[in-house]
Structures are given as structure tokens and as C-alpha cells.
């Protein structure tokens, strides 16, 4: 794992740069190659995996001497890193490409990520001014693909998913100066009926524990105190090196790295969520007390149609493991309403599960039929209007649960990592349980500082407090 490039902080806060932070980051420490005069624009859609992939793609381009610009109009190379989890997300890239139709003659255009893998060379038919189509499983070939573009080729593709390699780069341009993403596993071997990921990101490939630990150490040297381990299914991690570390062992090893204050991980799959993970959290205060455990539905019948490989009861057993931890661990989830065949009774099961578990947060969506998924052939028999009604009912119920759980924290003192200003005179940051806290302070806190904050009030999505002096 190579050098890390550190981006100055002004972009995030608009406030003065915190000298201490920059020194630690050491922009000067990593010499960029001479500028080639070429510029690139990179826009990212979708999940944290895509955000981190873009950080690495930008690192590859900076390593080639490109300079990043803020608008497509200024760029020699325009890149969109895309998401195809729902139809709406996929359509976004085609509307962007439409805007480039009459772009600068010399401009090169590339589509990366999940829509690239899903649509492949059909993109050239829909948008003939596109020059590069590259899926995430082919990113390790980016230097070679860019060389082909620079040599004058006008249609270049990277669509191979049959690989056991992961995307590791010499340079990674990191956007967030507080929380550093570290991919530990790519792809997915499961086949949930509604999900495009196995097709768009390919089979599971885990990085060696040594390369992950080395990357985290180099991030700590750069001044990072929080890292987030990423994967479609982090708890399916299988160390390919002779050390054969399990996910829980990897968590423990990362937590031992001096200088780290917080370690997060996302996303977990309930089938592979074992007690050792909670034991690791209990044994290491550095491991954050937050688990994201997508359930998708509360009905075993629908879970089986989704091919989620667990029942409602088995999912609740995992929740019980988490609830038995010595530390209170916040639990969040993902939910889909209106999956083909979902009856009112199935939906009621999802609502009762929300009550039974008491989630601290939930991302919820209407079912959207996707190409290259088993559910595409299922009759999409829940009317759109009814999907909308169920989503609204679910979100209102979850909002009340979150409000109740956040109100229980009023009067308590929590540790907050300061991430920025929320409004004049008020700062914002997150707790270890991943709650957003907006707070006042008698002084200007340092970004990236850890402060004790007394909670004075609570809303469904955030807490309000004042710094404890
Ligand atoms: S576990 Fe299921 S939902 Fe998650 S990425 Fe894999 S196929 Fe998609």
C-alpha cells in the first residue's frame, strides 16, 4: 500500500485551516509527479465503497500527473463513478452524459462503477461520445486503460469480473480528513434476489491482513484517528494470507494499532454475524459501539423470496448477541418495502420487527426491479402507490423509535469527534455510536478533536448539546 495524498481542509469547513492537522498530514511528504497538464473531473454516485473507489481512482490519475478540477467544462477527462442499486440512481449518469453531448471536442468521457459493469459496451451505443467504460473489478487495470486513451484510442473497456485481485493503489486521494476508508473485501458471493452487486462487482476477494494493517498504520502516521473498514459484507472476510485471520481477529489486530481512537466497519451480513465480533467490540474500546446489520424485511416468507439466507428468528438471535454485549451497541439497518409478493401481513411483520429490535437508525427503500437479478422475473405486483404508503408508514414508525431512543440520552455525556460547523456558533460531530451531535462550545474547537458533550435535547436524527469544560 503506497503513500497517501492529503487534501487541505478549507473545502469542508470554510473556516481557517488547522495548522496542526496539516503538519500531521504532510502534504509535502508525498511528492506528486510533474503535472502532465491534463485535468480530470470525477463525480461519484452511490455508497461508501464507491466514494472510496473514487479516492483511489483520483490517486491513480494524480500519480499520472493529472490535476483535479471542479467542473466538467474545465476537464480534459470527465469521469462518473456510478451506482445502479435502483433505476433512479442508474438514470442519473445518463442525464449527466446527455449534458456532455456537445462538450469540448478534445474532451474524453468515462463511465466507471456499477452502471459501467451492468450496461457494458451498450453505453457506447446510448452515448457515442463516451470513451471509457470500466467496472470496479477492473480498476487495477486503470493505468493501462488510461494509457490507451492517452495514445489516441477512443473506445476503451475494462469489464472483466473474473479476478481474485483487489484494487490497491500507490496513491489514494482522501476527501475526509477525519475518517479514512479502508476496503478489506470487494465483491459478493451471495445472491440476494433484488441485488445487482454480485453482477456489478464480481466475486468476493479479501485483501491480506498484512496489507490492511500496513495501510491503517500509514493512516495513523498521517494523523488519522478514525478508520472505517469497508466491504459489501465485511464479516465474510477471509484472509488469503497464511495467517488466515477471521474478521473478528482482524478487528482485534486493527484495534491494537497505537494512535487509533475509533474503528468502524460496514456492511455486515446477518448470516455471518458471529458472537466473536461482539466479543472483539467488548474487548477493544477503540472498536466503535455501532453495528449496521441490514435485515431488509421482518417476514421470513419474504426473506426466503429475497434469498437472504436467514429467517426472522435467526436475525433476532443475532440482535440478541449484540444486546448481550457489555457495552451498549447502537444498531442500524436497511429495509425494502414492496418486494414482489409482499402482503399487508408481511409488511406488518416488518413493522413489528422495528418495535422488537428498536433500531437507532434505518435506511429504507421501495423495491426497484434491477437487471441481472433474480427478482427481475418476479411479477412486481405491489402497486407503486402502495409501496409509497408502506414506505411512509415504516419511516414514520422508525422516526418515533429513533426519537424515543435519542431522548433516553438527554442528560448523558458523550464523546464527539468534531467534524465541522453546523451553523454559526454551533459545531457538529459524531459519537462512537455514529449519532450526529450538534453542540455549542465556549471556544473554537479543533476539527478532528475529541470532546465531551453533555446532551441537552434530542431529535429523531441528531442530538443537541454543549461541550463539557
Ligand atoms: S449480501 Fe446481498 S444485498 Fe448485500 S451485496 Fe451481496 S447480494 Fe447484495
Contact 293, 318 (CB under 8 A): yes
User: Which pLDDT score is estimated for 34?
Assistant: 61
Q: Is 251 in the pocket of ligand 1 (CB under 6 A)?
A: no
Q: Does some domain include residue 169?
A: no
Full domain range(s) for residue 84: 5-158
Task: Answer yes or no: are the C-beta atoms of 411 and 338 closer than 8 Å.
Answer: no
Q: Cβ(116) to ligand 1 under 6 A?
A: no
Residues 124 and 17 in one domain: yes
Among 46, 49, 189, 233, name the best residue to mutate to test ligand 1's pocket (greatest count of ligand atoms within 8 A of Cβ): 233
Please report which confidence band the pLDDT of residue 103 belongs to, taking 50, 70 and 90 as the band edges: low
Q: Taking 70 as the threshold, does the pLDDT of residue 303 lie above it? A: yes
In this structure, the answer to whether residues 118 and 150 fall within a common structural domain is yes
pLDDT score of 161: 84
Instruction: Judge if the beta carbon of residue 375 lies within 6 A of ligand 1.
Output: no
We report the CATH number of the domain holding residue 213 as 3.30.750.210
Ligand 1 atom at minimum distance from 198 CA: 7
What confidence category does residue 32 fall into, taking pLDDT thresholds of 50, 70 and 90? low
How far apart are the CA of 10 and the centre of ligand 1, in A? 37
Beta-strand relationship, 290-292 and 77-82: unpaired
pTM over 0.75: yes
Q: Are 103 and 194 within one domain?
A: no
Distance 189 CA to ligand 1 centre (A): 8
Asked whether residue 363 is assigned to any structural domain, the reply reads: no
Residue nearest atom 4 in ligand 1 by C-alpha distance: 232
pLDDT, position 23 = 42
Single residue among 110, 126, 158 that ends a domain in this structure: 158
**Does 362 fall in a domain?**
no
Where a domain ends, among 262, 288, 314?
A: 288
Supply the mean pLDDT for the chain.
91
Residue with cell 498504520: 217
Whether residue 185 has its Cβ less than 6 Å from ligand 1: no
- 361 pLDDT tier (thresholds 50, 70, 90): very high
Residues 149 and 198 in one domain: no
Cα gap 9→450, rounded to integer Å:
17
- Residues 107, 43 share a domain: yes
Query: What CATH number did the domain enclosing 436 receive?
Result: 2.40.50.140
Ligand 1 neighbour 232 (Cβ under 6 A): yes
Q: Does the pLDDT value for residue 176 go beyond 80?
A: yes
- Of 288, 312, 337, the residue at which a domain comes to its end is 288
Does 186 lie in the same domain as 110?
A: no
Ligand 1 centroid – CA 235 distance (Å): 12
Based on the fold, state whether residues 131 and 13 are members of the same structural domain.
yes
- Domain match, 233 and 141 both: no
Report the pLDDT averaged over residues 380-393: 97
Asked if residue 287 has pLDDT above 60, the reply is yes
In tens, the pLDDT along 402-420 reads 999 999 999 999 999 999 9
177-233 per-position pLDDT tens digit: 889 999 999 999 999 999 999 999 999 999 999 999 999 999 999 999 999 999 999
Are 34 and 146 in the same domain?
Answer: yes
In a domain, 367, yes or no: no
Which CATH number is 15's domain given?
3.40.50.12160
* pLDDT beyond 70 at 26: no
Ligand 1 atom closest to the CA of 191, numbered from 1: 7
Give a three-class secondary structure readout of the chain. Answer: CCCEEECCCHHHHCCCCCHHHHHHHCHHHCCCCCCCCCEEEEEECCCHHHHHHHHHHHHHHHHCCCEECCCHHHCCEEEEEECCCCHHHHHHHHHHHHHCCCCCCCCEEEEEEHHHHHHCCHHHHHCCCCCEEECHHHHHHHHHHHHHHHCCCCCEEECCCCCCCCCCCCCEEECCCCEEEEECEECCCCCCCCCCHHHHHCCCEECCHHHHHHHHHHHHHCCCCEEEEECCCHHHCCCCCCCCCCHHHHHHHHHCCCCCCEEEEECCCHHHCCHHHHHHHHHCCCECCEEECCCECCCHHHHHHCCCCCCHHHHHHHHHHHHCCCCCCEEEEEEEECCCCCCHHHHHHHHHHHHHHCCCEEEEEECCCCCCCHHHHCCCCCCHHHHHHHHHHHHHHHHHHHHHHHHCCCCCEEEEEEEEEEECCEEEEECCCCCEEEEECCCCCCCCCEEEEEEEEECCCCEEEEECC
* Integer Cα distance of 399 and 393 in angstroms: 10
Whether 99 and 135 map to the same domain: the answer is yes
Model confidence pLDDT, tens digit, residues 230-243: 999 999 999 999 99
Q: Are residues 45 and 110 in the same domain?
A: yes
326 occurs within a structural domain = no
Tell me: do 43 and 117 sit in the same domain.
yes
Number of domains observed in the structure of the chain: 3
Amino acid at each position: 500500500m503506497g503513500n497517501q495524498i492529503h487534501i487541505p481542509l478549507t473545502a469542508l469547513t470554510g473556516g481557517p485551516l488547522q495548522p496542526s492537522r496539516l503538519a500531521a498530514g504532510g502534504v509535502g511528504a508525498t511528492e506528486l509527479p510533474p503535472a502532465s497538464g491534463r485535468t480530470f473531473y470525477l463525480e461519484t454516485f452511490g455508497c461508501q465503497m464507491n466514494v472510496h473507489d473514487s479516492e483511489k481512482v483520483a490517486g491513480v490519475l494524480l500519480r499520472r500527473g493529472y490535476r483535479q478540477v471542479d467542473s466538467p467544462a474545465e476537464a480534459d477527462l470527465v469521469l462518473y463513478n456510478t451506482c445502479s442499486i435502483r433505476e433512479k440512481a442508474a438514470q442519473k449518469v445518463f442525464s449527466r452524459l446527455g449534458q456532455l453531448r456537445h462538450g469540448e471536442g478534445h474532451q474524453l468521457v468515462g463511465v466507471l462503477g456499477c452502471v459501467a459493469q451492468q450496461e457494458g459496451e451498450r453505453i457506447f451505443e446510448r452515448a457515442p461520445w463516451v470513451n471509457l467504460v470500466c467496472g470496479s473489478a477492473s480498476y487495477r487495470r486503470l493505468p493501462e486503460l488510461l494509457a490507451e486513451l492517452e495514445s489516441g484510442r477512443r473506445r476503451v473497456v475494462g469489464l472483466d469480473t473474473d479476478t481474485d485481485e483487489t484494487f490497491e493503489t500507490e496513491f489514494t486521494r482522501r476527501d475526509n480528513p477525519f475518517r479514512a476508508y479502508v476496503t478489506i473485501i470487494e465483491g459478493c458471493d451471495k445472491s440476494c434476489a433484488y441485488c445487482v452487486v454480485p453482477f456489478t462487482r464480481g466475486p468476493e476477494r479479501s485483501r491480506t491482513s498484512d496489507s490492511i494493517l500496513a495501510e491503517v498504520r500509514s493512516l495513523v502516521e498521517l494523523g488519522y484517528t478514525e478508520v472505517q473498514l469497508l466491504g459489501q459484507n465485511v464479516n465474510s472476510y477471509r484472509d488469503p494470507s497464511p495467517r488466515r485471520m477471521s474478521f473478528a481477529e482482524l478487528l482485534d489486530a486493527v484495534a491494537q494499532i497505537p494512535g487509533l481512537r475509533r474503528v468502524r466497519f460496514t456492511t455486515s451480513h446477518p448470516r455471518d454475524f458471529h458472537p466473536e465480533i461482539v466479543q472483539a467490540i467488548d474487548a477493544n474500546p477503540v472498536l466503535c459501539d455501532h453495528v449496521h446489520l441490514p435485515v431488509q424485511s421482518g417476514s421470513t416468507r419474504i426473506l426466503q423470496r429475497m434469498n437472504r439466507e436467514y429467517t426472522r428468528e435467526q436475525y433476532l438471535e443475532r440482535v440478541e448477541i449484540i444486546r448481550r454485549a457489555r457495552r451498549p451497541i447502537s444498531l442500524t439497518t436497511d429495509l425494502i418495502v414492496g418486494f414482489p409478493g409482499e402482503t399487508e401481513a408481511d409488511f406488518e411483520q416488518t413493522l413489528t420487527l422495528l418495535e422488537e429490535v428498536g433500531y437507532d437508525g434505518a435506511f429504507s427503500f421501495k423495491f426497484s426491479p434491477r437487471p441481472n437479478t433474480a427478482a427481475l422475473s418476479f411479477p412486481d405486483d405491489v402497486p407503486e402507490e402502495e409501496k409509497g404508503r408502506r414506505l411512509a408508514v415504516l419511516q414514520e414508525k422508525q422516526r418515533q423509535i429513533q426519537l424515543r431512543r435519542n431522548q433516553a440520552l438527554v442528560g448523558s455525556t458523550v464523546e464527539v469527534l468534531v467534524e465541522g460547523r453546523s451553523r454559526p456558533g454551533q459545531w457538529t460531530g459524531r459519537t462512537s455510536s455514529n449519532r450526529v451531535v450538534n453542540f455549542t462550545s465556549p471556544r473554537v474547537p479543533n476539527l478532528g478533536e475529541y470532546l465531551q458533550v453533555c446532551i441537552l435535547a434530542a431529535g429523531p436524527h441528531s442530538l443537541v448539546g454543549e461541550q463539557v469544560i
